[in-house]
Chains A and B, each alone.
Chain A
Amino acid sequence: MSQMRWALSDYQTIVQQELTHLVRQPSLIAWQLGSPIVMVLLFVFVFGSAMDIGGGADFTSFAMPGMFAMTMAFGFMNTAMSVAIYKEKGFIDRFRSMPMAPSAVVTGRGVSDLIHAALDLVVLALIALAIGWRSDGGLAATLFAFGLLLWLRFALIWIGVWIGLKVKNQEAAGNLFALAFPFGMISSVFTPPSLMPDWLGAIAMWNPVSSTANAVRELFGNPVPLGGSWIEQNAMLMAVTWPALITLVFLPLAVRKYQSLGR
């Protein structure tokens, strides 16, 4: 069998294992979506009335794309966690002692996380529709927007894998939430950076999550309260570029970390 087919068959097996998990434990999805959903309800119904994002724009339409982007951003935690569990339970050792494609474990996880993320988006979009969010961008633009969201998630898989291989155990991976939270929140997800103090606003603008959130707002035809800065004006470009850069840096790091586990 050629190397490529060998590796593809390994991906298929790992992905199938993941999907079986999802089917047997649908509560996993509910659990993982719990926090963004609670956050949405809080923001839209509790703070929403007090939130003025300027220009008379509707907060729900502004916040939903932000929530999609935030869920993608927090997703790397799931990847890190599952890789850490894999490692702790000795799966990675067993896989490495088998004659399987060396990168299949790492990339197989990535592929199944992406499928997982797509399911997350479907559920979130349904909830958003239920509370009044709409996409006015047409089918192609809407699909492209979801593509951009998955593109961000794809890039973050490699950060997740890298972290998951690096941390000692799953508790350590769980503690990363302290890191993930500001990464998701100091962005344009729920508040326009122009309303933040200057220094914080600058960080928020350059946060890759903001670029994706703003780009999909544009594509959905939702309100995009943009400032005049270059990074905000070029959200679409950066929503494509940021994940590419992240992948370029962290994919090799993750693969290298996997290969160096034996040192």
Chain B
Amino acid sequence: MDYSIYAEGLRKRYGDKVALDGLDLAVAPGTVLGLLGPNGAGKTTSVRILATLLRFDSGTARVAGLDVRSNARQVRQRIGLTGQSMAVDDVLTARENLVMFGKLFHIGKSAARQRADELLAQFGLTDVAGKPPQTFSGGMRRRLDLAASMILAPQVLFLDEPTTGLDPRGRMEVWDAVRSLTAQGTTVLLTTHYLDEADQLSDRIVVIDHGRAIADDTPAGVKRAIGGDRVEVVALRPDDVDAIASVVARVGEPVVEELRVHAAVTDRVGSLTTVARDLQEKGLDVEDIGVRRPTLDEAFLKLTEKVTV
């Protein structure tokens, strides 16, 4: 298969510091790859290498079928980049920003204007086209930033932590914008340190840590590997623990840790309801009850354990 993004054995070090330690990636055309990892995992380094901004020490990197080292210029005509910081000019208006980038892509003045208007409409910014991004919310700025990277309707789009620092509403807006792009067939590599974001937007997730892929799977597979959601009940008294465990056993394999009883579940609301109702029927009061997702830290611990064991 011809992958839109293909990397094999990418290595990159900054002085003594190893940033990428043999990273492999393969992204099929028209799909979204979520590159998930904690700070310092090597996400930005990967994006910068694939977007022709950074040289690497060894390995292979191809984007849109072209070698990023020897065909950098052609690669640049086929990619869009939205970096970690938002590269929009705060003094120019939203529309002027897009026209400026259009001109730098040499699509011609009138085409640049026309494309700017199309993109403003696509990203829901028509109403604020004449305002400077200074006055925008975080989500709006990021959408403008996204629009700027979409001027040539690139085959491949790189998004480096597009929602970091945004409020929940801004995140939703950006997610919708990304979905509208993928609906048009753009191949996207998106980095994030939010599991739910990777889950929501990607067809496939690669989890990286210390410059290496420690998981490469569908979102469902990754969630399975890290345990997914758990129903958790904390007993008031040690004497209640056995009774609680037998209730929890109805929705999943119970794990008992002192006063804490938990089990992996798939149906979040259903299993919580079942457990709560049964506890009530048995007249068992509890300290705490709820559905928990593993934090990213726990997920990484789990995945790293798998690798090292």
What is the interface of chain A, defined by CB distance below 8 A to chain B? Answer: 1, 6, 9-10, 13, 16-17, 20-21, 24-25, 88-91, 93-100, 261-263
Contact = CB atoms under 8 A, between A and B. Distances in A.
A100 B104 contact: yes
B91 A24 contact: yes
A31 to B, nearest CB: 14
A20 B53 contact: no
Interface in B95-140: 96, 100-101, 103-106
A262 B87 contact: no
Given A24-B91, A94-B149, A10 B83 contact: no
Given A25-B91, A98-B76, A99-B77, A93 B53 contact: yes
A109 B89 CA distance: 14
Contacts of B105: 98-100
Contact of B106 (A1, A89, A93, A262): A1
Q: Provide the main secondary structure of the chain A interface.
A: helix
Given A99-B73, A99-B76, A100-B104, A90 B55 contact: no
User: 8 shortest A-B CB distances, which residue pairs?
Assistant: A90-B83, A90-B87, A90-B85, A97-B81, A94-B87, A99-B76, A13-B103, A97-B51
A97 B53 contact: yes
A89 B86 CA distance: 6
A94 B103 contact: no
A261 B53 CA distance: 8
Contacts of A93: 48, 51, 53, 81, 83, 87
B23 interface: no
Contact of A88 (B51, B85, B96): B85
A91 B84 CA distance: 11
Nearest to A263: B55
Contacts of A263: 54-55
A43 B152 CA distance: 55
